[in-house]
């Protein structure tokens, strides 16, 4: 290993209570809300099919023109309590809120910028209203923060001159001030999720990323920090030059998931995935017909897939400029919430089971309980299980207690019957198992 000053501060998963809560939460929601919600993907009469929160970039709008959108920021339908009730009903245990996206508009009245809610017709502290409303519902709040800031004259994509270095250092100080402001004003925040950290300017300032993690952890003991913030002495990001994960959890699975067979390495560390409902829209876009929109079942499968591999999943919502949600997102929250109400025990506090994935779906595990989450019922009506050496399946039952037959078919192989009554959708079977059950068996491998 090479010696690093700004590499991983810790080897292995964090085991403290705050990280355990982060991990046990498992299901979160993203809120992408900013000035981009006003144009909703359209500029000067042209609709751009790229991500709506990047419209400023697609339509090449100068920052001062883009920020004039602030004059129209007045979400008259915004109701933080209603947002929190929706999140509660969906069954999310935490919500990640864009405090400031790349555009530089702040949802809190930052005293370090003139591009904040305080300078809009709305005036009030939206972030503060949301933190209180979510916390009142027992929902943790995480802050999304974009380091890259298109509104700030001192931001630099790269450092190519002394002038760049001087300006960017001013920018890093401005960023420190905003982060300290967020940590001070909203001390119940549980996590900072950094974005906009891929530019050469940041990679050349790995020291600063290590300093930010430490600064926030000094101010908010227990707070979690995503790997995307971090660059090491050599500009290596997420994993340092010795291959060790920086930050508290990997945050590279954005709109993609690790393969349940080929990427089992991810079960060695904590990680959190995030996903959009359309193919690639985080901020509000007025026309969702421009790409495929995932059904609630397709969103649910991604949630289960992440938990089955020891990760968290954050489902994105892009509220409208008026502060209400589009019907598709309300329906999604409702559908996921109904399923979580019935089957959430296979999600919350669960982890990778360590068993070989089968075609019918996914396993999750909590202590001695192994859950089968069935998405693809087989025509055979038998759900095949292959257990690790020394592990036996003793019993299988639906969550209402109704048993389903389990038949041993070969060494460490079982057929679990599909329930007599078709569950009409993805369902859960809970297994009672016995591990390190020794003893010879009646099976003989073929001589070949």
Ligand X SMILES: COc1ccc([C@@H]2N[C@@H](C)[C@@H](O)[C@H]2O)cc1
Among 42, 154, 254, 417, binds ligand X (CB under 6 A): 254
Between residues 168 and 193, which has the closer beta carbon with respect to ligand X? 193
Other beta carbons less than 10 A from residue 394's beta carbon = 10
From the list 366, 383, 367, the residue with the least C-alpha distance to 426 is 383
Other beta carbons less than 10 A from residue 444's beta carbon = 7
Between residues 253 and 269, which has the closer beta carbon with respect to ligand X? 253
Q: Minimum CB separation from ligand X for residue 20, in Å?
A: 25
Q: Minimum CB separation from ligand X for residue 406, in Å?
A: 43
Show the binding pattern over residues 188-217: x = contacts ligand X (CB under 6 A), - = does not.
-------x----------------------
Chain-centre distance for alpha carbon 207:
26
Which residues 139-198 are close enough to bind ligand X by CB under 6 A? 195
Q: Minimum CB separation from ligand X for residue 138, in Å?
A: 25
User: Does residue 52 touch ligand X according to CB under 6 A?
Assistant: no
User: Does residue 53 touch ligand X according to CB under 6 A?
Assistant: yes
Q: CA–CA separation, 419 vs 398, rounded Å? A: 8
3 state SS of 396: strand
Which stretch in 49-57, 81-89, 122-130, 150-158 sits in contact with ligand X by CB under 6 A?
49-57
Chain-centre distance for alpha carbon 255:
10
Between residues 274 and 396, which has the closer beta carbon with respect to ligand X? 274
Q: Minimum CB separation from ligand X for residue 254, in Å?
A: 6
DSSP-assigned states of every residue in 217-268: HHHSTT-EEBGGG-B-TT--BSB-TTSPBPSSBB---BS----TTTTGGGGG
- The β-bridge relationship of strands 406-410 and 413-417 is antiparallel
Q: Minimum CB separation from ligand X for residue 29, in Å?
A: 13
Which stretch in 46-54, 153-161, 305-313, 320-328 sits in contact with ligand X by CB under 6 A?
46-54
Q: Minimum CB separation from ligand X for residue 141, in Å?
A: 17
3 state SS of 69: helix
The alpha-helical segments, DSSP class H, found in 153-193 are 162-185
Q: Minimum CB separation from ligand X for residue 419, in Å?
A: 39
Residue nearest to ligand X (CB): 282
Q: Which two tokens stand for residue 338?
A: 């109904």
Who contacts 239 (Cβ-Cβ below 8 Å, separation ≥6)?
A: 8, 227, 245, 246, 250
Q: Minimum CB separation from ligand X for residue 304, in Å?
A: 21
Between residues 53 and 213, which has the closer beta carbon with respect to ligand X? 53
Which stretch in 48-56, 67-75, 128-136, 317-325 sits in contact with ligand X by CB under 6 A?
48-56
Q: Which two tokens stand for residue 116?
A: 């904040």
323 Ramachandran zone, left/alpha/beta (phi>0; psi -120 to 50): left
- The β-bridge relationship of strands 427-434 and 369-374 is antiparallel
Among 78, 282, 339, 352, binds ligand X (CB under 6 A): 282
Q: Minimum CB separation from ligand X for residue 290, in Å?
A: 16
Which stretch in 51-59, 261-269, 285-293, 363-371 sits in contact with ligand X by CB under 6 A?
51-59
Q: Which two tokens stand for residue 433?
A: 């198992």
Q: CA–CA separation, 203 vs 209, rounded Å? A: 9
Q: CA–CA separation, 36 vs 32, rounded Å? A: 9
User: Does residue 273 touch ligand X according to CB under 6 A?
Assistant: no
Between residues 197 and 364, which has the closer beta carbon with respect to ligand X? 197
Q: Minimum CB separation from ligand X for residue 282, in Å?
A: 4
Q: CA–CA separation, 391 vs 393, rounded Å? A: 7
Between residues 22 and 150, which has the closer beta carbon with respect to ligand X? 150
User: Does residue 51 touch ligand X according to CB under 6 A?
Assistant: yes
Name the residues that contact ligand X, by CB under 6 A.
32, 51, 53-54, 195, 254, 274, 282
């Amino acid at each position: 290993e090479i010696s690093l000053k700004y590499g991983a501060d810790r080897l292995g998963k964090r085991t403290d209570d705050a990280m355990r809560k982060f991990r046990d939460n498992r299901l979160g929601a993203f809120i992408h809300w900013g000035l981009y919600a006003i144009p909703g993907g359209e500029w000067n009469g042209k609709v751009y099919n790229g991500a709506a929160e990047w419209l400023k970039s697609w339509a090449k709008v100068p920052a001062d023109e883009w920020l004039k959108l602030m004059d129209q920021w007045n979400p008259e339908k915004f109701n933080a309590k209603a947002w929190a009730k929706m999140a509660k009903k969906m069954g999310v245990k935490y919500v990640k809120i864009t405090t400031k996206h790349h555009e530089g508009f702040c949802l809190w009245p930052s005293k370090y910028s003139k591009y904040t809610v305080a300078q809009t017709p709305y005036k009030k502290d939206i972030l503060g209203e949301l933190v209180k409303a979510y916390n009142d519902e027992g929902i943790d709040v995480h802050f999304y923060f974009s380091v890259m800031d298109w509104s700030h004259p001192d931001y630099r994509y790269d450092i190519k001159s002394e002038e760049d270095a001087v300006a960017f250092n001013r920018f890093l100080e401005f960023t420190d001030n905003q982060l300290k402001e967020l940590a001070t004003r909203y001390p119940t925040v549980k996590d900072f999720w950094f974005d906009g950290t891929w530019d050469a300017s940041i990679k050349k300032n790995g020291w600063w990323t290590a300093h930010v993690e430490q600064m926030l952890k000094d101010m908010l003991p227990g707070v979690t920090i995503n790997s995307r913030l971090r660059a090491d002495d050599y500009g290596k990001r997420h994993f340092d030059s010795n291959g060790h994960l920086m930050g508290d959890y990997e945050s590279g699975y954005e709109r993609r998931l690790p393969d349940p067979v080929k990427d089992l390495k991810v079960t060695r560390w904590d990680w959190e995935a995030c996903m959009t409902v359309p193919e690639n829209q985080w901020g509000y876009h007025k026309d969702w017909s421009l790409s495929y929109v995932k059904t609630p079942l397709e969103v649910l499968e991604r949630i289960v897939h992440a938990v089955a591999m020891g990760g968290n999943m954050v489902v994105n919502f892009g509220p409208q400029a008026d502060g209400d949600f589009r019907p598709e997102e309300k329906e999604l929250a409702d559908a996921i919430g109904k399923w979580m109400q019935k089957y959430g025990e296979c999600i919350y506090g669960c982890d990778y089971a360590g068993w070989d994935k089968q075609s019918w779906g996914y396993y999750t595990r909590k202590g001695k309980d192994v859950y089968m989450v069935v998405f693809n019922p087989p025509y055979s009506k038998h759900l095949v299980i292959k257990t690790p050496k020394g592990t036996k399946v003793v019993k299988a039952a639906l969550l209402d207690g109704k048993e389903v037959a389990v038949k041993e078919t070969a060494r460490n192989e079982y057929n679990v019957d599909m329930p007599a009554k078709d569950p009409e959708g993805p369902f859960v079977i809970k297994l009672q198992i016995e591990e390190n059950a020794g003893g010879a068996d009646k099976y003989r491998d073929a001589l070949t």
